[in-house]
Structure 1
Amino acid sequence: MTDPLANSYYAATAHERTARSGIRGDSRCDVAVIGGGFTGLSAALACAERGFSVILVEVAQIGFGASGRNGGQLIPGLRWTASELEEEFGSERADALFDLCWRDNRVKARIARHGIDCDLKAGHLEAAWTLKDFDATRREADYLAKRFNYASNVVAKADMPAHIATTLYQGGVHDPQGGHFHPLNYAVGLAQAAEAAGVDIRESHRAFRIEDTADGLRVNTDRAEIDARYVIDATDSWIGDVEPDLGRYTIPIMNYNIATAPLENADRLLPGDAAVADSRFVLNYFRLSADKRLIFGGGERYSQTPPRDIAAFVRPFMAEVFPQIADAKIDFGWGGAVAVTRNRLPHFGRRGNVFYAHGFSGHGALVTTLAGELVAEAMAGTAERFDVLASLPSRPFPGGKWLRRPLATLGLLWYALRDRLG
C-alpha cells in the first residue's frame, strides 16, 4: 500500500522491521485482531499472555496508521477534563475513569517490561493561549490536586521561559506524568513482544468483512479467511471499511507534522524537554526528538486531500510560536487521519464476540494501549474495567453516508473560527 503522506521522521528513523507479508492461507485461532496500531498490538499481546491463540492482520505495515505517525505526545487522561467527567457522570464513574486514564500508564509499563527502545521522555506542558484558558487550566490543576491527589505544576507567564522560548502563551500547566516518545518504534517494540508471546502477525492483509459462522466468527481478508472465537476490530479511522455502521461514529480529520533538521540550539527552544500542546481548538503541538529536531504539528484540514507541500502548510504555525527558527530547514513533512467522535470521547463496545475501540479523537497515544489490554481482560471474563469506558455515551454523526462529513465539517469550522476570533 503506497501512501503520499509517509515522508515521516518516524519511518526514516525506525528500528529495523521484520517483513511479515507472507500468505499463510485460511486459518483458525481463538482471537483475530484487525489492525496493527497500538490498540490492536496491545490487545493481541495481552490476549496471547492469557493463553489465547492470536492472529493479527494489518492492511499495510505495523504502525502504518495514526499509531506510527502521530505527534508522539503522551498526555494523561481524555479529551474531557476530570472535572467535566465528574460533573457529567458523577463521582463514582469519575473515580473509575481517573484511575484508568490518568493513573494507569500502560505505555510506560509495557516499555519497561519489554525493554522497548523508543526515546521515552517525561513531561508534558499544556500552554494557555488566552488568560481565560490559563485560568481554566489552573482551576483544573487545583481540582486534580485536591480531588485526586494528582500533582502537576502551574506555570505563570513569567515562568514560562524555563519551559518554552516564546512569549505567545499566557502560562500553562506542566504534568510530570505526561511525556513523549518515538511512536513507531513503540509500535515495532509491541509487535516484537507480541510475536515473542506467540502472536501470528500478517501484514499486507486487507480485512473487509466480519461474518458469523456456525462455529463462531470469520474475518474475510483479500488473502485468506480467518475463523475465530473472538474478533477485535482495532481499525480506528478505517473502521467503516470493515464495519460500516461503526464508521458512522467518527469522522477523519487530517493532521500534519514536520520535523526540522537537527537544531544547534534546540534546548533553548524547550529547556525542560517536555512535549507541548496548546489550548486552542485547532491546536499546535510540538516537542524535541532524541536527535534535537523540532517535531511540530499545526493546523487541520477537513478535506482528505493533503496540501501539495506539507512543510509549507505547517511552517507558518511553527514560525508563529518560534519566530527565531522561522527559516529552519525542514527535513520531513507527513500527515494522517485522526478519527474523531462527536463528543471527543472514545467509542468502546462489544457486539456478541466482536470487540471494538476507536475514536480516540487525537488523544490516544496512552489510552490505546490501555484499550487493548481492557479488551483482553473482558475477553478473559473480567469486563468491569472495559465496561467503564464502554459505558461512555456516543452517538453517530448525523447526515447519513453522504451528508455526515459535510455537516461535521461545518461544526468543526465554527470552532476553528472561534479560535481566530479569540
Structure 2
Amino acid sequence: MPWQSPISPGVSWYEDMMTERPDYVPLSGSTDTDVAIIGGGFTGLQAAYNLALAGVGVTLIDACRFGDGASGRNGGQLGTGQRWSPEDLEHTLGFERSKALFDLAEDAKAYLLDFATTHDIDIEYVPGQLNVSHKKSYEKDYRNSVEIAATRYGYPHQSFMELEEIVSRLGSTRYLFGIRDTGTGHIQPMKLLVGLARQAALAGAALHEQTRALKINRTGGRIVIETNRGTIRAERALIACNAYIGDLEPVTARHVMPIRSFIGATRILSDFPAILPDGEAVADSRFVVRYFRKSKDGRLLFGGREAYTADNPRDISDHIRRQISEIYPSLATVEMTHAWGGSVGITLPRQPFVREVMPGVTSIGGYSGHGVMLSNYCGKLYAQLITGNRSDLDLFRDLNIPAFPGGARFRPALLFLALSWYALRDRF
C-alpha cells in the first residue's frame, strides 16, 4: 500500500483536488475472459481500454483502488525520450535502435495528449520542462545534448540555458545552466487515471478494485488467477503491477525493484511570483533526482527523496521542506499542506522490463521514474500485440534487462549500498 502521510492521511494533493473518483466493485466469484489484467494503473487500464475497444473480453483487477499506486501519485512530468538521453543509449544500442526508442517515446507523448483531448479529460497540461545542472562539469554534455537532439533525432524543441535564464525561469540561483524543453510538459496524473478508467469501463472492460491476485497458474491450456475474491480464467494475461509486484510472480520480482519516492505540496505561493513564473516543470541533474513544478493553483509540488528500503520516514514533510529551502531559501518555513509517497519500479539499466514470464503471460513495468507517458503507451502496444496489429512493444522486449544481483535476501541491501553511493556522489 502507498505510504500514508501524517499531514493528510493517505491522501495526495492530487486526490484532494478530485471532485469525482468512482469506485469499481470487487470481483465476485469466478469468471472467464479473453485477457486478464493484474494492475489498475496506466499500463493496465490503457491495455483494458484498447482491448475492449477492439472487441476483446477483458477483466482487470487491482488490489487497492485505481490510482493508489504510482500512476495516481507520481510527479506528473512527461519528459522527452527514454530515461537516458538518446546519445547515451546510442553508445550501447547503436543509432538505429536509439532513434527507434526515441521516436517511440515521442509517439507515446502524442498518444497521451491526444487521448486526453479526444475524451475531454482535463489533465491540467502545462507545457515546458527545465532540465538543470548542479555541477559545472556537465556543461559540455548539456550543450551537446541540445545539438544532438536537433540534428540527429529531429527534435528541435530544446535550447541551452545560461545562468541568467536559469535564474529568471526558476527564480533561484541554485543551478548553473540547463536545457529548456518546450516540446513536453506536466499533468495532473490522478485526473488522467480517473478519466482513463472511465473510458475503459465505457468501452466494455470489466474493472474490479479491492481484488488482490494471490497466485497465477497455467492449467488445462488456460491461465488461472486466484484472487481473494474469486478466480479468473483467461487465454492470456498481463501483469502490470510494476513496483507493487511483491511475490506474485518471481521473474518480474527479480527484474523490477521497488524504491520509495516522496512528494510534498506547499500552500499556494501567490506571494512568491518569481518562483517558476511560467509554470514550467523542473528536473535536476542529481542521480537522486529533485523534480518540482507549480500546480495550476500556485502550489509548489516538490519531489526530492528516494528511499531504498520499504521503510517510510517519519519526517517526510520536514525533509522535503529542507530540500526546497536549498533551492528557494525564502521557503525555509513554508507551510506544507500535503506529503505523500509510493513505490517506483526501477530496473538495473533504468529501461522498461517487457517479457513473457510464462506461456501467455506478459509482464510490463520498471519504467524507472519515466513512466507517465511510457506506461500509457505500453498498455496500448500490448493491446495491439494481442489483436494482431503491428506493435512496437518488441523494441522494449528486445532490451537486455538483467536481474538484480543478490537474490530475494540480499538484493535490497545491495541496491541500498549502490544507490546510496550515487546519492553521495550528488553531494560532492
Tell me which interval the TM-score lies in, with the shorter structure as reference length. over 0.9
The whole-number CA distance in structure 2 between the counterparts of 1:23 and 1:382 is 30
TM alignment of 1:241-280, pairs within 5 A: 241-280=247-286
- The reply on whether 1:4 has 2:4 as its aligned counterpart is yes
1:61-91 Cα offsets, whole Å, 9 max, x none, are 0111011111111112221111112221122
Residue 275 of structure 1: CA displacement? 0.7
TM-score by length of 1: 0.96
Residue 153 of structure 1: CA displacement? 1.6
Q: Which runs of 5 or more structure 1 residues have no equivalent in the other structure?
A: none
Residue 347 of structure 1: CA displacement? 0.6
**3-state secondary structure, aligned to 1:74:** coil
The whole-number CA distance in structure 2 between the counterparts of 1:210 and 1:23 is 16
The whole-number CA distance in structure 2 between the counterparts of 1:397 and 1:221 is 28
1:386-408 Cα offsets, whole Å, 9 max, x none, are 10111111011111111011011
What does residue 213 of structure 1 align with? 219
CA contact (8 A) 1:163 1:271 kept: yes
What does residue 239 of structure 1 align with? 245
Residue 215 of structure 1: CA displacement? 4.2
**3-state secondary structure, aligned to 2:263:** strand
1:125-167 Cα offsets, whole Å, 9 max, x none, are 1011112223212211110101022011211112113311000
CA contact (8 A) 1:267 1:273 kept: no
What do you get for the CA RMSD once the two structures are aligned? 1.5
What does residue 163 of structure 1 align with? 169
The whole-number CA distance in structure 2 between the counterparts of 1:298 and 1:18 is 31
Q: Which amino acid aligns with 2:229?
A: R
The whole-number CA distance in structure 1 between the counterparts of 2:423 and 2:394 is 33
What does residue 77 of structure 2 align with? 73
Q: Which runs of 5 or more structure 2 residues have no equivalent in the other structure?
A: none
- The reply on whether 1:411 has 2:418 as its aligned counterpart is yes
How many residues in Structure 1 have an aligned counterpart in Structure 2?
A: 421
CA contact (8 A) 1:31 1:54 kept: yes
The whole-number CA distance in structure 1 between the counterparts of 2:168 and 2:112 is 27
- The reply on whether 1:18 has 2:25 as its aligned counterpart is no
What does residue 360 of structure 1 align with? 367
Which of 359, 365, 377 is 2:384 aligned to? 377
Which of 275, 283, 288 is 1:282 aligned to? 288
Residue 103 of structure 1: CA displacement? 4.2
- The reply on whether 1:184 has 2:177 as its aligned counterpart is no
The whole-number CA distance in structure 2 between the counterparts of 1:123 and 1:132 is 25
CA contact (8 A) 2:3 2:312 kept: no
Q: Which amino acid aligns with 2:416?
A: T
The whole-number CA distance in structure 2 between the counterparts of 1:77 and 1:7 is 31
Q: Quick one: percent identity of the two aligned structures? A: 37
Structure 1 runs, 4 residues or longer, greater than 4 Å off: none
- The reply on whether 1:132 has 2:137 as its aligned counterpart is yes
| Residues 364 and 144 of structure 1: CA distance in aligned 2, closer, same or farther (over 3 Å) | same
What does residue 94 of structure 2 align with? 90
Residue 283 of structure 1: CA displacement? 1.6
What does residue 119 of structure 1 align with? 124
CA contact (8 A) 1:266 1:288 kept: no
Moved more, 322-331 or 86-95: 86-95
- The reply on whether 1:393 has 2:397 as its aligned counterpart is no
1:148-205 Cα offsets, whole Å, 9 max, x none, are 2201121111211331100011111111122111111110010001011011110000
| Residues 26 and 3 of structure 1: CA distance in aligned 2, closer, same or farther (over 3 Å) | farther
